[in-house]
């Protein structure tokens, strides 16, 4: 992850406006990038009601091919103030023997005084890293009692580490713990990725 310490390491209380702004951002990005973007979703902590978060919106697009998407998206996103980062690999959860090649992505970021700050994750539709981001979001939405503890952990962590790279490294094992609980919940409830997508795009997910 980027190693700058500001504003990314500022964790603030939940803002109800994040929900509306997230919907607007995902709609705008989907309209800009379709049909290669099969769907665009609001993920991460700003997508969870009541969650303290860095005031940076995480968005996720599902695509069929990362190289094709990178080539097509680059000029469109550059016009919107996004920069392509060198990060190509998501964290593989502890205990998983999955091939890291299944956890690749492209990541664009925008930091602007005039527009919302955004991390734009582009992942292969149907990949485990796409699924994990949606499952993490939906489990926390379904378990509001867990939100204050996770939020407090992030607030303490943000004040204890020197940069965003360290923040991400320490946070990853805690995300792994949440996913370890979320997987049985997904099986018990029948949760599916297709059900996690917004109505405008769920029929396009394969």
* Tokens of residue 106, six digits: 């492209």
Sign (positive or negative) of CA dihedral 183, 187, 188, 193: positive
DSSP character at residue 47: G
> Could you tell me the residue ranges of all domains in the chain?
16-195
Q: What is the pTM of this model?
A: 0.91
> Tens-digit pLDDT profile for the chain (206 aa)?
443 434 467 899 999 999 999 999 999 999 999 999 999 999 999 999 999 999 999 999 999 999 999 999 999 999 999 999 999 999 999 888 899 999 999 999 999 999 999 999 999 999 999 999 999 999 999 999 999 999 999 999 998 998 888 998 999 999 999 999 999 999 999 999 999 998 874 434 43
Q: Are 136 and 162 in contact (CB under 8 A)?
A: no
Distance, CA of 68 to CA of 124 (rounded, Å):
11
Annotation: CATH topology of 16-195: Beta Polymerase; domain 2 (3.30.460)
Tally of CA atoms within 13 A in the half-sphere of 48 that contains its CB: 26
């Amino acid at each position: 992850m980027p190693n700058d310490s500001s504003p990314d390491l500022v964790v603030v209380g939940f803002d109800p406006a994040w929900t509306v702004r997230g919907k607007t951002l995902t709609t705008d990005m989907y309209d800009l990038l379709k049909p290669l973007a099969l769907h665009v979703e609001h993920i991460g902590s700003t997508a969870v009601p009541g969650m303290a978060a860095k005031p940076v919106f995480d968005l996720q697009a599902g695509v069929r091919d990362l190289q094709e998407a990178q080539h097509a998206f680059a000029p469109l996103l550059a016009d919107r103030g996004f920069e392509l980062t060198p990060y190509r690999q998501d964290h593989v959860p502890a205990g998983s023997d999955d091939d890291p090649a299944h956890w690749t992505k492209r990541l664009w970021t925008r930091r602007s005084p005039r527009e919302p700050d955004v991390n734009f994750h582009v992942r292969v539709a149907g990949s485990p890293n796409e699924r994990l981001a949606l499952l993490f979001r939906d489990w926390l939405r379904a378990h509001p009692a867990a939100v204050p503890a996770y939020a407090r952990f992030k607030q303490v962590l943000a004040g204890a580490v020197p940069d965003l790279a360290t923040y991400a490294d320490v946070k990853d094992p805690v995300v792994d713990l949440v996913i370890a609980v979320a997987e049985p919940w997904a099986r018990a409830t029948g949760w599916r990725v297709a059900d996690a997508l917004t109505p405008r795009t769920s029929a396009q997910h394969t």
